[in-house]
Amino acid sequence: MDIPKDRFYTKTHEWALPEGDTVLVGITDYAQDALGDVVYVELPEVGRKVEKGEAVAVVESVKTASDIYAPVAGEVVEVNAALEKTPELINQDPYGEGWIFRIRPLDIDHLDDLLDAEGYQEALEGEA
Amino acid sequence: MKKTPLYEAHLRHGGRLVGFAGYALPVQYASIREEHLSVRRGVGLFDVSHMGEFLVQGPEAQAFLQWATANDAARLKVGRAQYSMLPNAQGGVVDDIYLYRLGEEAYLMVVNAANIAKDLAHLQGLARGFRAELQDVSEATALLALQGPKAAELLQGLTDTDLATKRKNDVWEAQVAGRPARLARTGYTGEDGFELFLAPEDAEPVFETLLEAGATPCGLGARDTLRLEAGFPLYGHELTDATNPLCTPWAWVVKREKDFYGKGALLASPCQEKLVGLVLETGIPREGYPVLSGEERVGRVTSGGFSPLLEKGIALAYVGQEAGEPFFVEIRGRLVRASLSPLPFVPLK
């Protein structure tokens, strides 16, 4: 299972990649694989203020609907509109083209609460 | 958790096993969507060994089945099968079943896995007074479903039967891949296809041979999306102990001209709801989501999901008798426009 070392992770299988004063958010390779074929993504509205851990988006696979939680508190400043037409980008490229939304965090230091790649790997092993 | 005779084969082929009706079964192998499309366009293979099978034999087997089931068992000829239901005393449905006539005095009933114990107890109660023997052969029976427009072509190379002579709902004995099998031209996907009743020890070699011949292994996920697109009911969802079948699109099963258990209650209970097919403009409906007609809440989704052929969300839903368009499905607090669709949702053979 691919777990890039350049970003942070939640126990609920989101990744968070700091870029300047914003954070890009998506779901992990493990999560997309567990969901199966992604067929619909419900994106948040740009400008929405979110709490850490709040359900912000929904990824629907053939099998099930899964909430995507904000890894940090802040404001949604951009969403991946490409997912409206091609939700399968989440399966094909979960860490790249399949990103879901971008948050401007209230405090970038809050990312420190998240797991690093090694910690996420351990969390996955604990789950298995 | 119980294992089917194909448990090891599922693991070997990368099946993701989940618990279903007490059995460990694959929900999918690689992709539900791909498995679904393989059945619509080619041929897919399912392990449905979890289904229950009862043998009904004896001089009054037919009379007993005529009493216990809603369809006309007397019209069933040897070598033929029919879809039917087991009515209860309150006008509801104990289970929906498939009935195969194997001989003059021998029938095979296929029931839903989750209902095996309930059905058996119900039928045992009704069998008193009939010279008919009821035997649960579920554990001794493995069942494969080979489904899709290319199913006959694939199977023809592996069996001694001339499949061109066999019609939908025929049942007969044959050799498949050198093993004895009972074959039926039936299935739960809306496509042409065959169900293969096998001895447990024959299941794995036949399964492997069918895969080598080009069938795609399919899991429970595709089984559900296929049956939903085909507009077929799933027990526990569209049919329950409290569902009057006369209020469903499957009312044709109930033959009013014959006598059967529960008939009085069934004919007497009025229909407060009707079952409709809905196609959504956007989003995926799931079981339990509210359905609105205009601004009024009129019902609920009983089965919903993504249609890989239509690439849209589709649903079976019960709504009030009088409810009409515009329909909306409430998805996480948001109302999504839904249009009525005839069943099946997609053109089928």
- Chain B residues in contact with A65 by the CB 8 A cut-off are 284, 286
Please compute the mean of the pLDDT values over residues B43-65 and round it to a whole number: 98
Nearest to A62 among B225, B283, B332 (CB): B225
> Please, are residues B58 and B127 in contact by the beta-carbon 8 Å criterion?
no
Contact A36 B31 (CB under 8 A): yes
> A65 touching B, CB under 8 A?
yes
* Packing angle of the helix pair B116-127, B61-68 (nearest 10 deg): 120
Contacts of A58 in chain B (CB under 8 A): 332
pLDDT, tens digit, for every residue of B173-227?
Answer: 999 999 999 999 999 999 999 999 999 999 999 999 999 999 999 999 999 999 9
Asked if the C-beta of A67 comes within 8 angstroms of chain B's C-beta atoms, the answer is: no
- Set of chain B residues whose Cβ sits within 8 Å of the Cβ of A61: 32
**How far away is chain A from the Cα of B284, in angstroms, using its nearest Cα?**
7
Number of A–B residue contacts, CB under 8 Å: 38
Q: At what angle do helices B32-41 and B220-229 cross, to 10 degrees?
A: 50
Point out the residue among A36, A42, A60 whose CB comes nearest to the CB of B32.
A36
Say whether A62 and B305 touch across the interface (CB within 8 A). yes
- Interchain contact, B225 vs A65, CB within 8 Å: no
| Facing residue for B306 by CB, picked from A42, A58, A62 | A62
Task: Tell me which residue of B111, B127, B40 sits closest to B347, measured CA to CA.
Answer: B40
* Prediction ipTM score: 0.87
Unique residue bearing structure tokens 């024959």? B202
Report whether A99 contacts A32 (CB < 8 A): no
Is the entire prediction scored with pTM above 0.80?
Answer: yes
Q: Does residue B305 sit at the A interface (CB-CB below 8 Å)?
A: yes
DSSP of B67-108? HH-SS-GGGPPTTBEEEEEEE-TTSSEEEEEEEEEEETTEEE
The mean per-residue pLDDT over the stretch B15-40 comes to 96
- Look up residue A113 and give its DSSP letter: G
Preceding peptide of B344 cis, ω within 30°: yes
- On the question of pLDDT at B155 being above 70, the answer is yes
Spatial distance between the Cα atoms of B55 and B125, rounded to a whole number of angstroms: 16
Write out chain A's pLDDT in tens, 128 residues.
Answer: 899 999 999 999 999 999 999 999 999 999 999 999 999 999 999 999 999 999 999 999 998 999 999 999 999 999 999 999 999 999 999 999 999 999 999 988 888 889 999 999 999 998 76
- Expressed in angstroms, the distance from the first to the final Cα of chain A is 13
SS3 label, residue A21: coil
Q: Contact B332/A36, CB-based, under 8 Å?
A: no
pLDDT value for B111: 98
- Nearest C-alpha neighbor of B80 from the set B187, B166, B193, B207: B166
CA distance A35 to A47: 28
Task: Report CA B333 to chain centroid distance, whole Å.
Answer: 32
Taking an 8 Å cut-off on Cβ atoms, the answer to whether A58 and B332 are in contact is yes
CA distance A89 to A97: 6
Angle at B308 between CA A35 and CA B337, to 5 degrees: 95
Q: Which domains does chain A have, with CATH numbers?
A: 8-127 (2.40.50.100)
Mention every residue, 6+ apart, whose C-beta is less than 8 A from residue A68: A14, A25, A27, A55, A56, A57, A58, A59, A100
Structure tokens at B221: 């996920």
- Kind and range of the H or E element at B134? strand B133-136
Residues B282-293 pLDDT 10s? 999 999 999 999
* Nearest Cα residue in chain B from A61: B306
pLDDT at residue number A128: 66
Q: What is the C-alpha end-to-end distance of chain B, expressed in Å?
A: 37
Query: Residue A61: helix, strand or coil by DSSP?
Result: strand
Copy the structure tokens of residue A90: 């989440």
Of residues B104, B37, B81, the one with CA closest to residue B186: B81
Q: Residues B71, B83: contact at Cβ < 8 Å?
A: yes
Q: Report whether B151 contacts B213 (CB < 8 A).
A: no
Percent of chain B with pLDDT over 90: 99
CA distance A10 to chain B (A): 23
Structure tokens at B348: 């089928």
The alpha carbon of residue B16 is apart from the nearest alpha carbon of chain A, in Å, by: 10
Please tell me the distance from the alpha carbon of residue B303 to that of residue B65, in angstroms, as a whole number.
30
Q: Which of A111-115, B239-243, B253-257 has the lowest mean pLDDT?
A: A111-115
Is residue B285 less than 8 Å (CB to CB) from chain A? no
State whether B32 and A63 contact (CB < 8 Å): yes
The response to whether B8 counts as a known ligand-binding position is no
Which positions in chain A touch B225 (Cβ < 8 Å)? 62
Round the average pLDDT of chain B to a whole number and report it.
97
Residues B100-130: tens digit of each pLDDT: 999 999 999 999 999 999 999 999 999 999 9
**What pLDDT does A126 receive?**
87
* Domains of chain B (ranges, CATH numbers): 2-49+140-229 (3.30.1360.120), 52-134 (3.30.70.1400), 270-341 (2.40.30.110)
Residue B92 in contact with partner chain A when CB distance is under 8 A: no
